């Protein structure tokens, strides 16, 4: 059986792929382990997905790593997840840098504990001149938080007389999102069989193709990414026209 890798059209790749990495907890529990084991194994899938995206020439890969809602999980899981995220980012930064990957982050980074935000900013700065794949981590991110935040900034600027309400348009709103320099996703992948957006990039997903797979995130491999891209390429995108 030929692989999806050979079937995808390299001249028609999505420019930006966003991923809701779901199912870590279930994957671990089905195997008799605790949830954090699932998150630890999810790192392998992050590595494979990032490597593949960089290899084939995807320009932006956004991963939903920690949502605003995730702060309400048991403290033990929050702490373990935060430690895993920041440790992995630090450990992988030299490899990302070597592969010309630029690391970025979106979300309410002020909520990250201790010196996590500082560590993250160091890794971002280290790779900021890279010109290959942009790997965007959504950390302490939720779309309603982002939209609320954008509204506050716009209202403040209108009250300061920088522009009038008539000048508020889609471009201005986009420029107040945390994704301001990033094109909207072409393809959204969600793993583990849930078919929801869960407060992720609500503004930016307006015309994005949605792809759902039953595979849990820790089991997601290169071939699964190729399959999602292949499926994306079979669709006709009309952008409402």
Residue 87 annotated to the active site? no
Residue 26 Cβ vs ligand FPP, minimum distance, rounded to whole Å? 3
| Per-residue contact flags (x/-) with ligand FPP for residues 205 to 234, judged by CB under 6 A | ------------x-----------------
> Under the criterion CB under 6 A, does residue 88 sit at the interface with ligand FPP?
yes
Residue 241 Cβ vs ligand FPP, minimum distance, rounded to whole Å? 35
- How deeply is 162 buried, as exposed, middle or buried, from its count of CB atoms within 10 A (0-12, 13-18, 19+)? exposed
User: Which member of 9, 12, 70, 79 is catalytic?
Assistant: 70
> Under the criterion CB under 6 A, does residue 124 sit at the interface with ligand FPP?
no
Whichever of 4 and 71 has its CB closer to ligand FPP, that residue is 71
Residue 108 annotated to the active site? no
Q: How far apart are CA 81 and CA 92, in angstroms?
A: 16
- Given a contact cutoff of 8 angstroms between Cβ atoms, the answer to whether 87 and 58 are in contact is no
Residues sharing a CB contact under 8 Å with residue 226, sequence separation 6 or more, in sequence order: 3, 4, 5, 7, 8, 52
At 29, list the tokens. Answer: 């529990």
- Given a contact cutoff of 8 angstroms between Cβ atoms, the answer to whether 152 and 124 are in contact is no
End-to-end Cα distance, the chain? 37
Annotated catalytic sites, by residue? 22, 70
Write out the residues near ligand FPP by the rule CB under 6 A.
21-26, 35, 39, 42-43, 46, 63, 65, 70, 84-85, 88, 137, 192, 217
């Amino acid at each position: 059986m030929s692989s999806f890798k050979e079937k995808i059209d390299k001249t028609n790749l999505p420019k930006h792929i966003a991923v809701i990495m779901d199912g870590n907890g279930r994957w671990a529990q089905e195997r008799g382990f605790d949830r954090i084991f699932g998150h630890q194994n999810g790192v392998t899938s992050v590595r494979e997905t990032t490597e593949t995206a960089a290899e084939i020439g995807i320009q932006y890969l956004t991963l939903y790593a920690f949502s605003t809602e995730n702060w309400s999980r048991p403290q033990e899981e929050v702490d373990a997840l935060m430690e895993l995220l920041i440790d992995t980012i630090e450990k992988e930064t030299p490899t990302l840098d070597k592969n010309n990957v630029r690391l970025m982050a979106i979300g309410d980074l002020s909520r990250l504990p201790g010196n996590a935000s500082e560590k993250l900013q160091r890794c971002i700065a280290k790779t900021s001149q890279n010109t290959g794949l942009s790997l965007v981590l959504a950390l302490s991110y939720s779309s309603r938080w982002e939209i609320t935040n954008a509204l506050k900034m716009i209202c403040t600027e209108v009250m300061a007389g920088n522009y009038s309400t008539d000048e508020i348009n889609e471009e201005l709103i986009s420029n107040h999102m945390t994704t301001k320099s990033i094109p909207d996703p072409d393809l959204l992948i969600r793993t583990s069989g849930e078919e929801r957006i869960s407060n992720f990039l609500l503004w930016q997903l307006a015309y994005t193709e949605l792809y759902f797979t039953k595979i849990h995130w820790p089991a997601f491999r290169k071939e699964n990414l190729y399959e999602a891209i292949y499926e994306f390429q079979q669709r006709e995108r009309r952008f409402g026209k």
